[in-house]
Amino acid sequence: MATGPEEPEEPDEPETGLPASLQTAWGLRERPTKGPRPALTLERIVDAAIHLAATEGVEAVSMGRVAKQLGSSTMSLYRYVTAKDELYILMAEAGVGTPPPATVDPAADWRGAVTEWAYQQRARLQQNSWILRIPITGPPATPNQVAWMERGLVSLADSGLREGEKLSTLMLIGGLVRNETTLTADIMDAMIKTGITPDRMLARYTNTLTLLTDPERHPAVTRLLASGAIGQADAPDAEFAFGLGRILDGLEVLIDGRAAAG
């Protein structure tokens, strides 16, 4: 009895639920070793996309633009990356990179260890601020992101926090890092576009508040303006240091309270 053409067999791949390119990132998918060297590689595609994001913004990244950057056809990219969202994940993975070596012993100083982790994470995002424009589609699942999570958990290993609390702490501090870095990047973008220096921007903001507020309707804002705090030249990371310090102070209260209760 005649039958139709046989369907091509799908290659055996680990049942991870990950797309092929992420399996490659984790070393779960073999790369071809025989035959001529391909004109494209996953690394070249990701590097080209990062170059576009760093120079023109994440919104400039498309399969077509990346292909043009590489001198290839758009369809050729789909052999390596199935969609732009997948490319975003790989770009972020390359951008965050591996955590720098730890210099603080968490067993002796968990607070110092997690502080170092937070500042290192912040510095990496400052160096690659385009990462902040990539939508978050899920929890960290790529090798470098998991390495950062591991470092954060290790820094809290001897803190006295419970396992779930350690994860919540990383989420809380990670949120502070991302929010402060995004705000700083937005302000920098605004200054670049307008040509206004930080001092002039602060002066303009102070003048605007002074004109639009009054002691009767806005007594707290009036006190703030009178104090001169808005125009004070604090250290560049003063706001971040203050926020991180208060989070860690709160954790110490929780830990010490449990220790006192036995």
Q: How confident is residue 16, by pLDDT bands cut at 50, 70 and 90?
A: low
Please indicate, yes or no, if residue 1 is contained in any of the structural domains.
no
- Residue (of 68, 197, 59) closest to 132 by Cα position: 59
Average pLDDT over residues 134-144: 86
Residues 82 and 105 in one domain: no
Please indicate, yes or no, if residue 261 is contained in any of the structural domains.
no
Q: How confident is residue 188, by pLDDT bands cut at 50, 70 and 90?
A: confident
Final residue of a domain: which of 194, 226, 245?
194
Please indicate, yes or no, if residue 158 is contained in any of the structural domains.
yes
> Which of 115 and 81 is assigned the larger pLDDT?
115
Q: How confident is residue 1, by pLDDT bands cut at 50, 70 and 90?
A: very low
Please indicate, yes or no, if residue 6 is contained in any of the structural domains.
no
Residues 170 and 102 in one domain: yes
pLDDT reading at 52 higher than 70: yes
pTM, two decimals, is 0.85
pLDDT reading at 24 higher than 90: no
Q: Identify residue 74 by its one-letter amino acid code.
A: T
Residues 110 and 181 in one domain: yes
Residue 2, pLDDT score: 42
Rg over alpha carbons for the chain, rounded to the nearest Å, is 24
Residues 91 and 106 in one domain: no
| CA 138 to each of CA 20, 85, 94, 134, 142: distance values in angstroms, whole numbers, following the listed order | 17, 12, 17, 12, 11
> Which of 203 and 98 is assigned the larger pLDDT?
98
DSSP 129: G
Residues 107 and 169 in one domain: yes
Residue 66, pLDDT score: 97
**What CATH number corresponds to the domain at position 142?**
1.10.357.10
Instruction: Compute the distance between CA of residue 209 and CA of residue 214 in angstroms, rounded to an integer.
Output: 9
> Which of 149 and 81 is assigned the larger pLDDT?
149
Residues 132 and 182 in one domain: yes
Residue 77, pLDDT score: 92
pLDDT reading at 217 higher than 60: yes
Final residue of a domain: which of 76, 95, 114?
95
Please indicate, yes or no, if residue 235 is contained in any of the structural domains.
no
pLDDT reading at 201 higher than 80: yes
Q: How confident is residue 5, by pLDDT bands cut at 50, 70 and 90?
A: very low
pLDDT reading at 15 higher than 90: no
Residues 104 and 166 in one domain: yes
Residues 108 and 171 in one domain: yes
Asked if 222 and 214 touch (Cβ cutoff 8 Å), the reply is: yes
Which secondary structure element, helix H or strand E, spans residue 210, and what is its range? helix 198-212
> What value does the mean pLDDT of the chain take?
87
Buried b or exposed e, range 84-94, using 16+ CB within 10 angstroms: eebbbbbbbbb
Please indicate, yes or no, if residue 162 is contained in any of the structural domains.
yes
**What CATH number corresponds to the domain at position 45?**
1.10.10.60
Residue 202, pLDDT score: 84
Burial class (CB in 10 A: 0-12, 13-18, 19+), 117: buried
Please indicate, yes or no, if residue 228 is contained in any of the structural domains.
no
Residues 124 and 152 in one domain: yes
Residues 51 and 123 in one domain: no
Residues 105 and 190 in one domain: yes
pLDDT reading at 8 higher than 60: no
Residues 112 and 134 in one domain: yes
Q: How many domains does the chain have?
A: 2
Q: 260's torsion region: left (phi>0), alpha (psi -120 to 50) or beta?
A: alpha
Please indicate, yes or no, if residue 124 is contained in any of the structural domains.
yes
Q: What is the DSSP string of 165-227?
A: HHHHHHHHHHHHHHHHHHHHHHHHHHHHHHT--HHHHHHHHHHHHHHH--TTT-HHHHHHHHH
Provide the domain limits for residue 183.
97-194
pLDDT reading at 84 higher than 80: yes
Residue 11, pLDDT score: 42
